[in-house]
Amino acid sequence: MLQSWVIASVSFAYLGVLFAIAYYGDKRADAGRSIIANPTIYALSLAVYCTTWTFYGSVGRAASTGIGFLPIYLGPTLMAGLWWFVMLKIIRISKANRITSIADFVSSRYGKSHLLGGLVTIIAVIGIVPYISLQLKAVSNSFTILLHYPDIVMPARAAAQPLLQDSALYIALILAAFTILFGTRHLDATERHEGMVAAIAFESLVKLLAFVAVGIFVTFFLYDGFDDIFDRAELVPRLKALMTVDDTGASYGSWWSLTFLSMLSIMFLPRQFQISVVENVNERHLARAIWLFPLYLLLINIFVLPIAVGGLLHFPDGSVDADTFVLTLPMAEQQEALALLVYIGGLSAGTGMVIVETIALSTMVCNDLVMPVLLRWKSLRLHEEQDLSWLLLSIRRWAIAAILLLGYIYFRAAGEAYALVGIGLISFAAVAQFAPSIVGGIYWKGGTRQGAIAGLVAGFAVWVYTLLLPSFAKSGWLSLSFISEGLFGIGLLKPQQLFGLSGLGEIPHSLFWSMLANIGCYVAVSLRRRPDVVETSQATLFVDAFRHTEGDQRSRFWRGSAQVQDLLPLIGRFLGPERARDAFLIYARRRGVASIDQLEANADLVHYAETLLAGAIGGASARVMVASVVKEEPLGIDEVMNILDEASQVRAYSRQVEQKSHELEEATAELRAANERLKELDRMKDDFMSTVTHELRTPLTSIRAFSEILLEDPKTNLENRRKFLAIIVKETERLTRLINQVLDMAKIESGNAEWHTADIDLREVIEESLAATSSLFADKRIGLEKRLAGDVPSVRADRDRLIQVMLNLLANAVKFCEEDRGRVTVRLFAEGGAARVDVEDNGAGIAEADQPTVFEKFRQVGDTMTAKPQGTGLGLPISRQIVEHFGGRLWVKSSLGKGATFSFTLPLDAGEARQEERRQND
Amino acid sequence: MMKRSILTGQRLVAVFLFGCVLFNYPVIALFNKTGELLDIPLLYLFLFGAWGLLIGLMAWVIEHRQE
Amino acid sequence: MTKRILIVDDEPNIVVSLEFLMKREGFDVAVATDGEAALKSVEEKRPDLVLLDIMLPKKNGFEVCQTIRANPGLQAVKIVMLTAKGRDTEVAKGTALGADAYMTKPFSTKDLIAQVRQILGES
């Protein structure tokens, strides 16, 4: 027989131990030697996720739905895989902005909005209070059941008990006192409670130990191992069914939606946010939690199904609530100590949840609900108070008490309507509404305040309609026809078959509609306008959290003037003058300034102050408070965009630098090439001058020599005299020709040549040129063949110039032909929109390598092999210039010893050319 | 500050995706059958086995990261 | 003893004028119109002086000059280079290769004859 005083004193002793741990933890923290600076303790404290809902409720759920209870724990396991990115980002954002609650987070992200903070707080309180009442119910039930030991008596309906005999009331009160002691002994700007975290980690160990102990007892002592239990279950159809889930789409859909729901809950339940983000000492601790926390979940779940099956086998008549199997099985076997351990384990699970949850909620209620109202309430004259820290603490204490009392009231009124697991899932679905605004807020800069508000309101409204109100109906506060008939009897509005959507469980159904409404409104409303100044700057701080190092970023979005004498008292009013002075001293020392008076009240200090204050009263209130003592010059949206642009400009700049240096290299190479080309041109000009000089001096040499001979010796015989004078005349002609051609060349090259363009019949040009050179042919007795097509259209060119080209080519051909055996063929024909002329000879030919050089000035190919040819060496270059001037081409085809063919083309008249082309295309 | 090793993060995301496949239709449907292996119901064995595997993978990724 | 002069140039009219001048001055004259013929002629006829053009087919005047100076048996041969390219670098190059004099075309016939006589030690 366990006397009530025994149970009570064990309970108090346990709470005493917890308090001792917490007290010790706080002492150590104050001394700067944290006992929770350890990744394992962090991971254990995260197990505050496992409440009495896990401890007692999992078995209950497993007894009714079998293995379907597991998604609640698989979801967090999966989510842990994303923590490296998502959770780390939330932690870093929260630390940089001194965010102390989930409401603060949402409000800060969307421009420090009081309205949003309040909204999140209200949703959290309404969503979580049933969950708290669930803990009270579980603890009070376990106390009651244990009290009847060794008899197993199910507790009566709570409402049936007189208020003052209801153990749940006392439990609520004790927990309230305990939480106040834990959570609000003093005010800290970071809202961290190291002692509490240590106690929570300890409780996690206790509840795991207790649960595993029961599991081992049931599995290995009551039965003969896993195989024995499962073998026995195989024999009972009802139990056999627990080993699988229904093989239906709805069942798999439900499995998936519970997994999804728990993934969101592990991130956004206020207590999880408190422990994993606010209480995080060092973000490195997150790493181990990623696998250690899922391991904890696995361990605490491994015996759930065996215990459920064991309980169902042991109490086949259904007289014992499956939610109590964990406790009643050891009791049924007279395991007094084990039963007491289980009770303590359940107490751990319940108190842990209640403490963290109420602290988290009280922070929200104080910072995001009560303080904003009080601070606006001018008649309270709060702005005249010197020290408001007492006010903050008392608001939080009252909030804790109020929340627990609300939980108790809910328990008295509605606690019996649902099994434990039902209530837990309703809370999960409520906090899931935070997901779009938060996840969207840290990855999407476009989300706006109105979007977040719309999403939250819509999602929450759907949640109320599809989950909360039906739960009220089931509790008898509303007519059950609300569920069966729909609102006002409209079938489409049935809360659990909204718009006729049936076949889903109530949770997947509600999750679908609420998420649809939430995400839909969040995105649609956000997209209605561009984010304003504050939203943009906050969005950047949140979304780009990994890019910025702490602190430096925020000051950039602020401009104004402030006084240290204004800021210090302001902070002092909320943190207490002592703490404020300490904090400012720390700041001063960090800046290398000796005293507070010497501090410069710049943007950095203003932000430091605001951040300090944000820890105490929330981001939105802190902003209002700081704004009241500093003169802020508002930044325009353009300026904010400019600041944001700077960052991208820096990145763009480095890219540009890279590109520029690349371009510079290219330019250098080009310059070098151009320089080479210039040098080459210079050398060519030099060579040209030298060559021209040579070509001029050579005939002059002969002329001068013979002139002097004749002058000195008048008696030179007649024959010689004639010969010498003939040479003089010939060399003079050569000189004249050379000068003319050089000038001609220079004119053409400089573009100063005169062109008399007309329609030219090439046949006529060729005939005339042949007539002019007929004596050359006759002298060397060279044969001529003409193949001139009759239908070649006219070309646009300068007649005299073309004759010049033809004469040059014909003279060349004759020049390189042997006497008597020489033969020259002239061809004219149309080819691909151009007229083409060939002048072919059977002379010496030109080596492949020399072919390009024949078109260079003064390059006379063949000098070295034969006697020096006559000519200036300018004929071909000039001819090429002429042909190219009229859009044609001049080239040579030849091989050594086999003659040469010089060819040129000239484009046919534009109109004719088109006709020609068309003819060819057809 | 914890160094954000992108590789570690990506490995963890891969484990997450792997887990999403394991713990959802149609993979669970493969094991959602009456019947036992080693005297343990098939689905129970699969779920806890896969769960343990995921934890093992995550532990390996985390503890073998290079910072 | 009559001195022998070899005229090397590829311009027929210049050859004619030089030949006439040298013969008139009483020299024994030989003619070559390219570099290779010039070297052959120097070997065979052992002229006392070579009037050497630079722009020559087959082997230019510089090469011919160099080859002559490289032959110990031909050290007595005097060389007067003639060029239509009057650049200083070419004058320097010719002198460096062992030419005894350098004349730029067009030249004064009097100066040429004086130069030739001086080199031959007849003035």
CB contact under 8 A, A255 and B43: no
What tokens appear for A518 in the block?
């939430």
For chain B, give every domain's residue range: 27-67
Q: Over the stretch B14-57, which tens digit does the pLDDT of each residue have?
A: 999 999 888 888 888 888 777 777 778 888 888 999 999 999 99
CB contact under 8 A, B28 and A252: yes
- Give the model's pLDDT for residue A865: 36
CB contact under 8 A, A863 and C57: yes
The region of weakest confidence among A168-172, A878-882, C61-65 is A168-172
CB contact under 8 A, B16 and A240: no
Tell me, yes or no, whether A711 and A788 share the same domain. Answer: no
- Give the model's pLDDT for residue A665: 79
Tell me, yes or no, whether A644 and A631 share the same domain. Answer: no
Nearest to A242 by CA among A63, A420, A495: A63
Question: Hey, is the C-beta of B36 within 8 angstroms of any chain A C-beta?
Answer: yes
Tell me, yes or no, whether A700 and A727 share the same domain. Answer: yes
CB contact under 8 A, A701 and C107: yes
- Among the three residues A690, A724, A749, which one is the final residue of a domain in this structure? A749
Question: Hey, is the C-beta of B43 within 8 angstroms of any chain A C-beta?
Answer: yes
Which residues, other chains included, contact B19 with Cβ-Cβ below 8 Å and sequence gap of 6+? A74, A77, A78, A81, B50, B54
User: Which chains have at least 3 CB atom pairs separated by less than 8 Å from chain B?
Assistant: A
Tell me, yes or no, whether A588 and A651 share the same domain. Answer: no
Residues C95 and A426: their CA atoms lie apart, in Å, by 112
- On the question of pLDDT at A880 being above 80, the answer is yes
Q: Name the residue with higher pLDDT: B11 or A646.
A: B11
pLDDT band, very low/low/confident/very high, at A235 (cuts 50, 70, 90): confident
Number of independent structural domains in chain A: 4
pLDDT band, very low/low/confident/very high, at A864 (cuts 50, 70, 90): very low
A370 neighbors A395 (Cβ within 8 angstroms): yes
Tell me, yes or no, whether A161 and A208 share the same domain. Answer: yes
- On the question of pLDDT at A150 being above 60, the answer is yes
- On the question of pLDDT at C24 being above 80, the answer is yes
CB contact under 8 A, C10 and A712: no
Which residues, other chains included, contact A639 with Cβ-Cβ below 8 Å and sequence gap of 6+? none
- On the question of pLDDT at A49 being above 60, the answer is yes
Q: Which domains does chain C have, with CATH numbers?
A: 4-118 (3.40.50.2300)
Query: Is residue A194 a part of any domain in this protein?
Result: yes
Tell me, yes or no, whether A228 and A269 share the same domain. Answer: yes
Residues A717 and A753: their CA atoms lie apart, in Å, by 47
Which residues, other chains included, contact C114 with Cβ-Cβ below 8 Å and sequence gap of 6+? C123
Tell me, yes or no, whether A702 and A760 share the same domain. Answer: no
Q: Please return the burial class of A246, using the count of CB atoms within 10 Å of its CB with bins 0-12, 13-18 and 19+.
A: middle
- Most confident region among A32-41, A183-192, A278-287, A485-494 by mean pLDDT: A278-287
**ipTM > 0.90, yes or no:** yes
- Give the model's pLDDT for residue A272: 92
Mutate to test the interface with A, among B17, B21, B42, B51 (most CBs of A within 10 A): B51
- Give the model's pLDDT for residue A862: 45
- Give the model's pLDDT for residue A640: 55
Q: How far is C108 from chain A (nearest CA, A)?
A: 7
Q: How far is B15 from chain A (nearest CA, A)?
A: 6
CB contact under 8 A, A698 and C17: no
Domain at A701, CATH number = 1.10.287.130
Contacts with A697 from chain C: Cβ below 8 Å: 84-86, 104-106
Query: Is residue A624 a part of any domain in this protein?
Result: yes
Q: Which residues of A make CB contacts under 8 Å with B?
A: 67, 70-71, 74, 77-85, 88, 92, 226-227, 230-231, 233-234, 240, 243-245, 247, 252, 255-256, 259, 283-284, 286-288, 290-292, 294-295, 298, 302, 305, 546
Tell me, yes or no, whether A586 and A622 share the same domain. Answer: yes
User: Which chains have at least 3 CB atom pairs separated by less than 8 Å from chain A?
Assistant: B, C
The region of weakest confidence among A412-421, A537-546, B36-45, C49-58 is A412-421
CB pairs under 8 A between A and B: 111
Q: Go through A532-555 and write b for each residue having 16 or more CB atoms within 10 A of its CB, e for each that does not.
A: ebbbbbbbbbbbebeebeeeebbe
Q: Where are the beta strands (DSSP E) in C33-77?
A: 49-53
Q: Is A490 helix (H, G, I), strand (E, B) or coil?
A: coil
CB contact under 8 A, A80 and B58: yes
Tell me, yes or no, whether A726 and A770 share the same domain. Answer: no
Which residues, other chains included, contact A595 with Cβ-Cβ below 8 Å and sequence gap of 6+? A588
- On the question of pLDDT at A521 being above 90, the answer is yes
Average pLDDT of the residues in A309-338: 85
A693 neighbors A735 (Cβ within 8 angstroms): no
Nearest to A404 by CA among A358, A346, A336: A358
Query: Is residue A487 a part of any domain in this protein?
Result: no
Average pLDDT of the residues in A800-805: 87
- Among the three residues A358, A377, A396, which one is the final residue of a domain in this structure? A377
Q: Over the stretch A679-725, which tens digit does the pLDDT of each residue have?
A: 887 777 777 777 777 788 888 888 988 888 888 877 778 888 888 88
The region of weakest confidence among A49-53, A440-444, A508-512, C81-85 is C81-85
Query: Is residue A393 a part of any domain in this protein?
Result: no
Tell me what percent of the residues of chain A surpass a pLDDT of 90. Answer: 14
Query: Is residue A464 a part of any domain in this protein?
Result: no
- On the question of pLDDT at A639 being above 70, the answer is no
Q: Over the stretch A563-610, which tens digit does the pLDDT of each residue have?
A: 777 777 777 777 777 778 888 888 877 777 777 777 777 777 777 888
| Length of chain B measured in residues | 67
What tokens appear for B46 in the block?
């699969």
Average model confidence (pLDDT) across chain A: 81
Domain span at A211: 4-61+136-377
- Give the model's pLDDT for residue A402: 92
Q: How far is C51 from chain A (nearest CA, A)?
A: 14
- Give the model's pLDDT for residue A742: 82
**Which of B1, B16, B36 minimises the CB distance to A78?**
B16
Average model confidence (pLDDT) across chain C: 84
- On the question of pLDDT at A293 being above 80, the answer is yes
Question: Hey, is the C-beta of C60 within 8 angstroms of any chain A C-beta?
Answer: no
CB contact under 8 A, B38 and A227: yes
- Give the model's pLDDT for residue A121: 93
Query: Is residue A577 a part of any domain in this protein?
Result: yes
The region of weakest confidence among A391-400, A711-720, A797-806 is A711-720
- On the question of pLDDT at A120 being above 70, the answer is yes
Query: Is residue A386 a part of any domain in this protein?
Result: no
A316 neighbors A18 (Cβ within 8 angstroms): no
Contacts with B12 from chain A: Cβ below 8 Å: 81-84, 290
Q: How far is A697 from chain C (nearest CA, A)?
A: 5
- Give the model's pLDDT for residue A161: 66
Contacts with A302 from chain B: Cβ below 8 Å: 48
Average pLDDT of the residues in A33-48: 86
**Which of A693, A709, A868 minimises the CB distance to C109?**
A709
Query: Is residue A784 a part of any domain in this protein?
Result: yes
- Among the three residues A584, A614, A635, which one is the final residue of a domain in this structure? A635
Count of other CB atoms within 10 angstroms of residue C26: 9
